[in-house]
Each structure stands twice: as structure tokens, then as C-alpha cells.
Structure 1
Amino acid sequence: MSERKGARVKLREHFLNNIGRVMDSDELREVAGGITEWARRVRELRSEEGYQIQTHNDRGDLKPGQYILEDPKPIPAFERAISKEIRAYVLDRNGFTCQMCGAVAGETHPYDLRRKTRLHIGHIVDKSQGGTDDPSNLRAICSVCNEGASNLTLERPSNLKLLAQVRRAKGGDQVELLKWLVRKYPKQTEEFLDEKNT
């Protein structure tokens, strides 16, 4: 039995043996054998098997990172309807960057230095709440935010706050940021330089 299937089976059994009891991320991670993808297995129980596992997105009395299964009977699961093309479009549109914390795919995660950032496609409005698979309801989200460890959307910093942070950074880090901005915005950089030289 694969690690993926094994973790999902363990999580399903644990939820079914603890109906109505609130469980937290640490408990579920341990039940899944400590794998980093445990939250994905929980989502599969919801989306593929139809178990109505509730989180803080579903119930106001739950905190981020808390889960509860109130009814052992699953309802028909939703189809996985997100095509490869839509996934690629959403990732590209979001700049291969987590839309909650700003972590970039493949780089060391800024809030968990033990692992590289892996991006998933997440629903803004969950399908259980009537959300669709339309690209406008999808966003790139990293494993860490997806697991609930950073499950609150971080406020985007204003221009002034960003400038203050850049000014505080070491000169070498400022140069790396400049290189990144030039790569990200080559056309605007060229226009800015042309403007400056006229």
C-alpha cells in the first residue's frame, strides 16, 4: 500500500473513530505517519470520498488548524474537474507564488525552512460552499498554508511598508531584489530606463 493511500486510510479510520471530536493539525499529522502531505489526504477524504470534515472555513467556532467530522455517512463526492490547462493557467497567472504567504514554488519556504515550497490549486470559495472550478475561483496556495499552519490570509503590504522593508535590508539583498524585479518586469524596466535617459 502506498504512503499516500496508507495515510488516507489511517486518517479516515481516525475521523470515523472520533466522530464529533475536534482534532488539531498536530494530531492528524501524527496519525498520517508524520507525512508533510497529510492535509492533502484530508482534502481527498472531503472531495473524493465525500466525508464532511469541517474546518474553520465551515464553522465559526473552529480555529485554523482544527477539524471535526460530525457525521460518518459521506455524501457524493465532487468530481475532480480542474484540467491540466486550467492548473497551468492559474499557476502562471499567480506567478507560481502562494497567494496567502507569498512563497515561491521550488524555493525554500520562508515559514518552514526544512522544505521547498510546493504549490497546489485551491478554491477561494470551497466547493462544499458552492464554489466552482472556474479559474476566477482558483488560486495557487502552498503546502504550508494549505495545511492550516498559516491558514489566515496575510494582508498584502502597502508600497510604503515594502519600501521600508527594502531600506532595512542589507545592500546585497537589495541588489538581489532589484535583479528579481528586472527579470519579472523587463518591459517596465526598459521603459523606466528610457524615460530616465531622456
Structure 2
Amino acid sequence: MKRAKKGQGAKAKLRDYFLANVGKVLDSSTLQQVADGSSEWARRIRELRNEQGMNIKTHNDLGELKPGQYILVDLKPIPAFERAISKETRAYVLDRNGFTCQMCGAVAGEPHPYDPSRKTRLHIGHIIDKSQGGTDDPGNLRALCSVCNEGAANITLERPTSDKLLAQIRRAPGVDQLKVLEWLMGKFPKQAMDLINKR
């Protein structure tokens, strides 16, 4: 396998590596190494596809690929998309989503629940990916943490219903149930007081 050149940024290294391996299935661990171990390697690949028009496919696009596998199908460019999300729109979406990841519930600035070694950083992600016709309209945008955003390209997940959430909470130990109660009372203090006063 050809290696990427030294002295380049992660995106440039990934681009060179894909170009040197057109038509070959590449796995995520190799690509992360090519990107010098950057935690943003998957995002850089999405940028190559969405902004530079590289015809990179994943298991979401091709059934024969497994999760974590990528392939640059050919050198024919696909329509590229610019980053057109304004600062105002980003601020609106983050505020609307309560500065909380809409996939895992991690809160900006707090230790990430799935990776406590790093603090949660939020990004703006598309619900319907631009490669599938999605727009930059706020209704198609959501806050995503960097952990979820790395694996969220072209994935649209439904939010859990209250019945599913309650089923999970009922299964949790009492200590965790109390943490959920504390969080809900902090998020909805007025409604919590109204419920207490009704008793």
C-alpha cells in the first residue's frame, strides 16, 4: 500500500491515500493511522466527499461494505457541497437543542458519557445528509457531539418514544433513576414545582 506524504494536514493525507488506493476497501483503523491518529479523521473524510466531491462510499452506501470500511469508487467527481451554515444558524440550533447531543444526550463541556477522558464538543449535523438531498435549513440540522458525529454520516435515527425511555429508566438502578429525576427537575423546574404542589 502506498503511504501518504509527510508534513501534510490530516485531510490532505487522507485525500492522497484514497487517490493512491482507488477501488480498494480501506478500514477505519488504517485511515485513522493515515490521519496521524486524529480523532477528527471521519469528519475529514466526510469533508472530502461532501466538499471536494470525492466518490467515497461506506456501508451506508454499498451493501457489500462492512461498518468501518470505506472505498473511493472512482475518480469521477460527485457534486460537492459548501459549508453554508451561518454562525447565527449554528447558535440557533445549539440553543434549540439545549447544547445537548441529539443522539447520545451528552452536554457541551461536560465529560463525555462514552469517553470520559475528553470533554463533549458539539458540532452541527444534518438529519438528512446533504449527499441525500438534505438542506442547511435549521429544521434539518441538529447538535451532535464529536463522538456521535464521527459515525453519523448518512444515518438518520429516530428519537426514542417516552415509552422506550421509561422502560430504560425502570431498568436502571435507583441511583441512576435519581440522577434522571434530578436532571429533569433542573430542566423543567416550573413543571416540577407544579407537580409537587398538586400532591
Deviates more, 1:34-43 or 1:103-112: 103-112
Instruction: Tell me the residue number matched to 1:61.
Output: 64
The CA distance in 1 between the partners of 2:46 and 2:165, in whole Å, is: 36
The CA distance in 2 between the partners of 1:21 and 1:10, in whole Å, is: 16
Q: Deviations over 1:71-122 (max 9, x none)?
A: 1243442121111121122222222222222222222222223222212111
Q: Taking structure 1 as reference, are residues 140 and 190 closer, same or farther at Cα in structure 2, changes over 3 Å only?
A: same
- Indicate which of 40, 51, 55 corresponds to 1:52: 55
Structure 1 position 159, deviation (Å): 4.1
Structure 1 position 174, deviation (Å): 4.5
The CA distance in 2 between the partners of 1:54 and 1:159, in whole Å, is: 33
Check conservation: 2:49, 2:80, Cα contact below 8 A: yes
Structure 1 position 147, deviation (Å): 1.9
Instruction: Tell me the residue number matched to 2:160.
Output: 156
Instruction: Tell me the residue number matched to 1:74.
Output: 77
Deviates more, 1:33-42 or 1:88-97: 88-97
Instruction: Tell me the residue number matched to 1:20.
Output: 23
Counterpart AA for 1:88: A
Instruction: Tell me the residue number matched to 1:115.
Output: 118
- Indicate which of 91, 96, 108 corresponds to 1:105: 108
The CA distance in 2 between the partners of 1:195 and 1:149, in whole Å, is: 43
Structure 1 position 128, deviation (Å): 1.3
Structure 1 position 149, deviation (Å): 8.7
Q: Taking structure 1 as reference, are residues 63 and 94 closer, same or farther at Cα in structure 2, changes over 3 Å only?
A: farther
Check conservation: 1:25, 1:148, Cα contact below 8 A: no
Helix, strand or coil at the partner of 1:115: strand
The CA distance in 1 between the partners of 2:73 and 2:101, in whole Å, is: 31
Aligned length: 189
What root-mean-square deviation, in Å, do the aligned CA atoms of Structure 1 and Structure 2 show?
2.5
Helix, strand or coil at the partner of 1:88: helix
Map residues 177-192 of structure 1 onto 2, 5 A cutoff: 177-192=180-195
Check conservation: 1:108, 1:116, Cα contact below 8 A: yes
Question: TM-score, with normalisation over the residues of structure 2?
Answer: 0.82
Helix, strand or coil at the partner of 2:47: helix
Helix, strand or coil at the partner of 1:121: strand
| Structure 1 unmatched runs, 5+ | none
Structure 1 position 45, deviation (Å): 0.9
| Structure 2 unmatched runs, 5+ | 1-7
List structure 1 runs of 4+ shifted beyond 4 angstroms. Answer: 149-155
Structure 1 position 32, deviation (Å): 0.1
Check conservation: 1:64, 1:152, Cα contact below 8 A: no
Deviates more, 1:107-116 or 1:78-87: 107-116
